[in-house]
């Protein structure tokens, strides 16, 4: 049998196949400790080895072991590593989020301390699938469950999303054939409403989760309404949410929809609702902060980082494909670029040196990255991890947009700047 203190090192520096063979030995303990009280899972989580974490969890690794000399858990190490995938994996395995280390900090607080905001968001927005699967079984005198088992997976994916942009959420519905159905959407939003009520009426009221559930329910009901009126697989809804107003291209319908969702929250006495209303009500539509940014910060704890680009279509963080004509908007991929082109083309202004005879067309996104981009990106990430508050401001796009008279129906190529 391999010595316990050596097992962690073997697991860390071997490939998954070798580790699988090692763990198949019944004499090996998956939760063995090294001299610092760290388990193999803690090592793998801290080093960001997702495949190794998955293997260890399959072999029964204890996610809540806190024998570490300073009381750290595997979830804390995952948060410190900045790996959101591993963080979610450990949460799915039953990790407790309220355990504290020797200095009294939870996993979310430790991740926030080192600037790993994605992991903080994953931890704060985690929702156990087991709570949802409760509704996939008949309860009491029910003949059928409230939620068909086949819908649990797609619905849980929507609940777990940390991107609350309604366009992104509608896209999640649209991409799953099981959800693009009137009956399925009705069952889903009714279950979400029950979860919202449960969050409010439980002994330890969770207003944040209740508001998120209510918001998801509103999005699902909007999808349901559009499917009942139009047989276009939600394309009309996406266009409505993305359509920008004349002049500055601000998506008024989207802003009004989010405000309406907040206004319809059924528990008027909730402190969170009053906080949201005070933050949003005085703001004129089109000005900052938007309802989306206020809601996101309130429900997920995410701050809008000045050195981070967000997709102009779905709001996904880290978008790096710029419109090749105006260089003013960024996308996370060609799908979002195509969706947004119908409204962006009215504000898209091609820089003079690029005009010539070029016609806007869609082609594969460029994957080339300039060395300066790599250096700048690394410096930005370093600053984030060190918890620096000063962020590099990006050049803001000009407010003076010209209307294109004969814009092409196809978007221009989007590529990394």
The larger pLDDT score, comparing residue 315 to residue 398, is at 315
- Whether 380 shows a pLDDT value over 50: the answer reads no
Mean pLDDT, rounded, of the chain: 82
* pLDDT, average across residues 86-100: 92
Instruction: Give the pLDDT confidence score for residue 33 in this predicted structure.
Output: 85
The larger pLDDT score, comparing residue 16 to residue 266, is at 266
The larger pLDDT score, comparing residue 170 to residue 364, is at 170
- Here the tokens at position 154 are 């797609």
- Which segment, 57-61, 259-263, 309-313, 361-365, is predicted with the most confidence on average? 259-263
Instruction: Give the pLDDT confidence score for residue 224 in this predicted structure.
Output: 96
Report yes or no: 30 and 59 within 8 Å, Cβ to Cβ: yes
The set of residues, in sequence order, having a beta carbon less than 8 Å from that of 225 and lying 6+ positions away, is none
Q: d(Cα 28, Cα 7) in Å, to the nearest integer?
A: 8
What backbone phi and psi angles, to 5 degrees, belong to 331?
-135, 160
* pLDDT, average across residues 68-85: 94
The set of residues, in sequence order, having a beta carbon less than 8 Å from that of 156 and lying 6+ positions away, is 127, 129, 132
Three-state secondary structure readout of 322-344: EECCCCCCEECCHHHHHHHHHHH
Q: Tens digit of pLDDT for each residue in 154-207?
A: 999 999 998 999 999 999 999 999 999 999 999 999 999 999 999 998 878 889
The set of residues, in sequence order, having a beta carbon less than 8 Å from that of 278 and lying 6+ positions away, is none
Give the pLDDT band (50/70/90) at residue 359.
very low
Instruction: Give the pLDDT confidence score for residue 304 in this predicted structure.
Output: 54
Instruction: Give the pLDDT confidence score for residue 393 in this predicted structure.
Output: 33
- Here the tokens at position 157 are 């994916």
Instruction: Give the pLDDT confidence score for residue 364 in this predicted structure.
Output: 38
Q: What is the pTM of this model?
A: 0.76
Q: d(Cα 24, Cα 1) in Å, to the nearest integer?
A: 12
DSSP 180-239: SSHHHHHHHHHHHHHHHHHHHHSSS--HHHHHHHHHHHHHHHHHHHHHHH--STTHHHHH
Go through the chain and tell me how many residues it has.
417
Query: What is the crossing angle of helices 50-58 and 84-92, to 10°?
Result: 10
Q: d(Cα 363, Cα 82) in Å, to the nearest integer?
A: 33
Q: Which of 72, 67, 66, 63 is nearest to 103 (CA)?
A: 72
| Cα R_g (the chain), whole angstroms | 24
Report yes or no: 38 and 68 within 8 Å, Cβ to Cβ: yes
- Whether 403 shows a pLDDT value over 60: the answer reads no
- Whether 125 shows a pLDDT value over 70: the answer reads yes
The beta strand positions in 258-380, using DSSP E, are 321-323, 330-331
Instruction: Give the pLDDT confidence score for residue 379 in this predicted structure.
Output: 42
- Whether 215 shows a pLDDT value over 60: the answer reads yes
Instruction: Give the pLDDT confidence score for residue 148 in this predicted structure.
Output: 96
* pLDDT, average across residues 140-160: 94
Phi-psi region of 143 (alpha: psi -120 to 50; beta: other; left: phi over 0): alpha
DSSP class of residue 27 equals: T
Q: Tens digit of pLDDT for each residue in 291-349?
A: 999 999 888 876 655 557 899 999 998 888 998 888 889 999 999 999 999 999 988 87
Instruction: Give the pLDDT confidence score for residue 339 in this predicted structure.
Output: 94
Q: d(Cα 156, Cα 127) in Å, to the nearest integer?
A: 8
DSSP 347-410: T----GGG-TT------PPB----HHHHHHHHHHHHHHHTT-S--PPPPPPPS-PPPPTT--SS
According to CATH, the topology of domain 4-124 is: 1.25.40
CA atoms within 13 A on the CB side of 307: 15
Residues 390-398: contacts with CB within 8 Å, 24+ apart?
A: 391/305, 391/306, 391/307, 392/306, 392/307, 393/306, 393/307, 394/306, 394/307, 394/309, 397/326, 397/328, 397/329, 398/328
- Whether 89 shows a pLDDT value over 90: the answer reads yes
Q: Rounded to 10 degrees, what is the CA torsion of 290, 296, 301, 302?
A: -80
Q: d(Cα 56, Cα 52) in Å, to the nearest integer?
A: 6
Domain range summary for the chain, segments of one domain joined by +: 4-124, 127-304, 306-376+403-417
Strand partners, 414: 323
* pLDDT, average across residues 243-256: 92
Q: d(Cα 79, Cα 388) in Å, to the nearest integer?
A: 18
């Amino acid at each position: 049998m391999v010595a316990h203190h050596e097992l962690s090192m073997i697991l860390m520096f071997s490939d998954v196949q070798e580790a699988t063979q090692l763990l198949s030995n019944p004499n090996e303990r998956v939760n063995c400790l090294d001299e610092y009280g760290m388990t193999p899972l803690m090592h793998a989580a801290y080093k960001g080895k997702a495949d190794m974490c998955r293997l260890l969890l399959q072999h029964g690794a204890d996610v809540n072991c806190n024998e570490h000399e300073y009381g750290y858990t595997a979830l804390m190490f995952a948060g410190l590593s900045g790996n959101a995938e591993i963080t979610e994996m450990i949460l799915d395995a039953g990790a407790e989020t309220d355990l504290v280390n020797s200095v009294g900090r939870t996993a979310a607080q430790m991740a926030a301390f080192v600037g790993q905001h994605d992991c903080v968001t994953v931890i704060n927005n985690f929702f156990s699938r087991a709570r949802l699967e409760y509704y996939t079984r008949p309860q009491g005198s029910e003949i059928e469950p409230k939620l068909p088992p086949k819908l649990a997976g797609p619905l849980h994916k929507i609940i777990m999303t940390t991107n609350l942009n309604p366009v992104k959420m509608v896209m999640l519905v649209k991409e799953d054939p099981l959800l693009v159905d009137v009956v399925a959407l009705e069952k889903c939003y009714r279950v979400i409403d029950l979860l919202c009520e449960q969050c409010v009426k439980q002994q330890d009221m969770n207003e944040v989760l209740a508001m998120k559930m209510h918001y998801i329910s509103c999005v699902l009901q909007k999808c349901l309404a559009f499917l009942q009126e139009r047989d276009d697989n939600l394309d009309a809804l996406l266009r409505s949410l993305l359509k920008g107003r004349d002049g500055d291209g601000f998506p008024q319908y989207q802003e009004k929809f989010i405000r309406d969702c907040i206004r319809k929250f059924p528990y008027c006495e909730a402190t969170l609702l009053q906080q949201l209303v005070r933050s949003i009500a005085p703001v004129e539509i089109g000005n900052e902060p938007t309802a989306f940014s206020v809601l996101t910060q309130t429900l997920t704890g995410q701050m809008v980082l000045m050195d981070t680009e967000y997709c102009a279509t779905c709001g996904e963080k880290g978008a790096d494909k710029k419109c090749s004509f105006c260089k003013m908007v960024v996308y996370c991929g060609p799908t979002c670029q195509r969706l947004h082109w119908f409204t962006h083309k009215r504000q898209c202004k091609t820089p003079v040196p690029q005009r010539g005879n070029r016609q806007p067309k869609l082609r594969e996104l460029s994957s080339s990255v300039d060395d300066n981009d790599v250096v700048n990106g690394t410096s930005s990430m370093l600053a984030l991890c060190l918890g620096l508050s000063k962020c590099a401001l990006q050049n803001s796009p000009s407010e003076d947009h010209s209307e294109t008279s004969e814009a092409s129906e196809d978007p221009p190529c989007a590529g990394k700047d």
